[in-house]
Amino acid sequence: MRKLRKFICVMLAAVMAAMAASSCVSAAGLSFAPDFDVYSEAAYLLNLDTGEPLYQKNADRQLTPASLTKIMTAVLVLEQFSDNIAALSTTYVSGGYECFDELYMTGCSTADIQPGEKVSYKDLLYALMLRSACEAANIIAVNIGGTLSGFAEMMNLKAAQLGMENTHFTNAHGLFYENHYTTARDMATLTQYALSLPMFAEISCSETYEMEATSFHEARTISHTNTMMSKANGGDYYYEYVKGIKTGTLDQAGRCLASTAYKDGYSYLLITLNAPQYDADGNAVMYNMIDHKAIYEWAFSNFEYTTVISETEEVAEVPVEYGDGVDYVIVRPSREYSRIWSKSVPPDSVHRSIELESNVIAPINAGDVLGKMELQYGGETLITVDLVATASVARSAEKEKIAVAQSFIGSDEFNAAAKYSLAFFLAYTVLVIILKIVVARENKKRSRMYGTPKRRR
């Protein structure tokens, strides 16, 4: 009995979960393809206004992120100061040779911060995100995590919390390690979260920044390595709508880039990994920036926010039994569904699969769920929404009585009653006929015995 009860509970829970999920199931995997080649091995374009991906290429392929790693490093710092963000400017730390030894002779990017030099966390973050300073990453790691390895554990814990299932970090700066990898999708998840933190967008999207003077340096200005933001230095790569966020380059990672772009009320985040560093002639080419400019121009030119279904749209009629004055009720979607959509694809090309409830009996209240509609495009399910009644329908007592009577006439009970009634009628008729015959015979017999009485005159 206990096993049976347990089985029933599990089945009920599964049914309830399925019913809850069916009311709104979005397909995050739908994407469109541009009509040009993308140089990067992996790419992921996300609309920041709706959270919907617009373009994907090898989005879940594990690749080396290079200095895009530093986005996670910045996240952990900003979380540490989330309750007092102003303290970033007034809290000074330094790093010993444990922060510098692994960086010597690597040719990595630095901001020329020296061992023992006191630098504010704010300046460390700007050096980290604009100059891609590896020593800044290690100084942060030692002071936040206790040790370099301790900070890497914090990075992986945060990655797990954010659902970055295909990511593993071994350092704070992004130099090549065998077990250091991520994906374009995971990096988009991280960057989207980072943009929600105070000061991250301000820091990572600044074109230049002046670091304050220290005992080792006078005040100095540093510039962002993403030259797409600079009209003076960007050259052919310049794109006026791009902001930040982080570049990364390694022989093992190619050219990587995380950036955002804003135009005409639309906001996008783009992650690309492992673009080539050189052309066929051996010339250094920023293929990552070429990709970002081309993909953004394609997105801004070809897509717009579109209402695919409206919650006021009348979708179908559902027959209703016992309705007072009506035999059906009209249903509509329970919610509007809008998304970034290609201008060349009309919304009515989206396939609608509708399932309506059967045996619907009044009374019906406006808003009652009477079916569901699944929207599909290109083999992908966009969303499944409930279909609800647009109006209430009262119950008719008269219709109910008629329907009950009509249903009884054709029922097994009615047929049995009819059979019994017919049998009774036939039996009664036979008995009456027999009785009449018997009575007639008796009268005839009496007439013979006593003769016919004479009439008196």
Burial class (CB in 10 A: 0-12, 13-18, 19+), 149: exposed
What local confidence, expressed as pLDDT, does residue 136 receive? 98
Please, which pLDDT band fits residue 433 given cuts at 50, 70 and 90?
A: confident
Give dist(CA 322, CA 423) in Å, integer. 35
Question: Which of 3.40.1010.10, 3.40.710.10, 3.40.50.150, 3.40.640.10 would CATH assign to domain 42-303?
Answer: 3.40.710.10
Q: What is the DSSP string of 150-184?
A: HHHHHHHHHHHHTT-TT-B-S-SS----TT-BB-H
- Mean of per-residue pLDDT scores for the chain: 89
The domain at 310-397 falls in which architecture?
A: Sandwich (2.60)
| pLDDT tens-digit series, residues 193-210 | 999 999 999 999 999 999
Backbone angles phi, psi at 323, to 5 degrees: -70, 140
3-state secondary structure of 46: strand
User: What is the residue whose two structure tokens read 């979005």?
Assistant: 26
Q: Is the pTM of the predicted complex or chain greater than 0.85?
A: no
Residue type, 383: I
Please, which pLDDT band fits residue 444 given cuts at 50, 70 and 90?
A: confident
What local confidence, expressed as pLDDT, does residue 387 receive? 98
| pLDDT tens-digit series, residues 53-110 | 999 999 999 999 999 999 999 999 999 999 999 999 999 999 999 999 999 999 999 9
The residue ranking higher by pLDDT, 400 or 443, is 443
The stretch 32-50 carries a mean pLDDT of 95
Q: Domain residues of the chain, as ranges?
A: 42-303, 310-397, 410-449
What local confidence, expressed as pLDDT, does residue 442 receive? 79
| pLDDT tens-digit series, residues 126-148 | 999 999 999 999 999 999 999 99
Give dist(CA 249, CA 274) in Å, integer. 8
What local confidence, expressed as pLDDT, does residue 430 receive? 82
Asked if the domains 42-303 and 310-397 are classified in one and the same CATH topology, the answer is no
